[in-house]
Structure 1
Amino acid sequence: MHKVAVLALQGVVNFDLAIPCEVFGRARQANGAAVYDILLCGEAQTVKAGWLDLVLPWGLERLADADTVIVPGVHRPIGPPSAEVLRALRAAAGRGARLASICSGAFVLAAAGLLDGLRATTHWLATAQLAGSYPKVRVEPNVLFVDNGQVLCSAGAAAGLDLCLHMVRRDCGAAVAADVAKLSVMPLERAGGQAQFIVHQPPSTRASLQPLIEWMGERCHQPLTLEDVAAQAHLSVRTLSRRFKEQTGTTPLQWLLLARIRRAQALLEQTALSVEEISAQAGFSSAGALRQRFSAVMGTSPSGYRRAFGYGGSDGGEGSPRLS
């Protein structure tokens, strides 16, 4: 069974701590068996967690045999991570364990040197601090999470759900992850990044673009242009772009691209259609355009994604875990 060690440091955020326990704890194989063994551990037996005191069943020694180590955020760091915590994290990474942070947990991974040269994120309020404190880290302030392969990071709060669902999907396939998402009352994948949650100047109070966004989603497979979308909204291109950015944190064309990528993902997971057929049904001009855009967004090719998550996988059946 895949062992997930959740590291609770002093001042841990209860919500951040609960996310991996709930998400990984709900993952089930097709026969109902649990996929993950969750180990709640820390440097001290008792840790402060907001208004609670938590008694942890395991110490740092359990990081030594964990397949995945999750570092939740803390409210206000009581101090830098201890040398023992940093050594345990480096040792886990050195033997090939997967490491992931939620919210300000990224500061712990960065302190251990595990984010040097890698993409990373944290809560939007702290991205500038992370970048200033650890200049070797490539901080991306607008994303919900980043996946570097062995090391992953999420933004704050609910973005931890996005990250953990992504890891379940990567481990077990889309069917298992979709079941967990349904139990968590969460979409399996959210569009946009945390830019949509950043506090800017108050946006325009004009009508919501939600009907337009729904219209775009229903027609994302069609060759829509920015002018087409603006005409549907009865707005100029400039006004549309400004309002769209205010309300979604992204541009209309970028939103369309991500919608098309999601459509291609679904077709790769659920059908035996060729990449050429999928490109046409997902709104791409050619199979080459799909491959280029898909790889840029997802970090893998359509065929690689299908091998990992999709139709005709080698795991022996839909919903079976792909854990080593």
Structure 2
Amino acid sequence: MRILLTGSAGFVGSHLTERFLQGGHEVIGVDNYISGQRDNTALFLGQPGFSFVEADVSQGIPDPGGRLDWVLHFASPASPPHYQQFPIETLMVGAQGTQNALELARAHGAKFFLASTSEVYGDPHVHPQPESYWGHVNPNGLRSCYDEAKRYAEAITMAYHRHHGVDTRIIRIFNTYGPRMRPDDGRVITNFMHQALRGDALTVYGDGSQTRSFQYVTDLVEGIVRLMDVEDHEPVNLGNPVEFTMLELVGVLQDVLGRPLTTLREPIPHDDPRQRKPDITRARTLLGWEPVVPLSDGLRRTIAAATAHDGTVAATPARA
């Protein structure tokens, strides 16, 4: 296949690029490095089948010419510190960026794949969250630039499918972690890990009872690849249904590192979801998929990669 991937220099984008190239496919990566990393692009430069275009997809996507089989839209800041630093750019990439990617797919008769997010559920009143739940989202809060950008991206994707017949896929990604995340990503696993490696106290918000479910990146990539082979246009949750409180996550990290860790309490941020856990019934039924990497194993792999890269730069306070 010949695949154009926006956000190719991002955390998830780099792992998708790796998987596609290993499968013998051609990848045209597009990124403007607002949150992606040049090191991720450098991993693939010179490899057969990979090419890269530095561009802001909100302003337009250069047409690569020739055949395109897929347009995968993964471009967007995804962590709270990054999308709150670039709120307008985040809204733009969810709106204009998504439409530009859809138009490119339409022009080439290509299939289209949207990376949406569990944040469309907001601070949920339904637990766990099935795809049929419409969410509980603050439309003008600090997180709204990301939440509403993704909700709009889903809406315009479905409009292009229904009105123009574009063959689309939508996934809602729950908390995902692994190698190649930015050290300053600001989400809880990255920050806990780097704080622990530096010997600092781990920042816990509130009483630490808020929950998340953590998915290792290879599990996510497997779900994405499987959905590409299935014709289904409704959103699909991809996440790990095993739920952890923040204090339980501290305990797992202690076990992995083999030493006690201290914590520092801070007030819980505004609009921070109290609980997050995917209902993955659709993914199990439709794709025969579910996560296979336990949290402890994924943390070991992620820590090994971080220490090998010596990526223990200062981190912002942990956000889930």
TM range (shorter): 0.3 to 0.5
Which protein shows a greater Rg? 1
Larger relative CO (CA 8 A, sep 6+): 1 or 2?
Answer: 2
TM-score normalised by structure 1 residue count: 0.35
Structure with the bigger percentage of helix:
1
TM-score (norm 2): 0.35
Question: Quick check: which one's strand share is greater?
Answer: 2
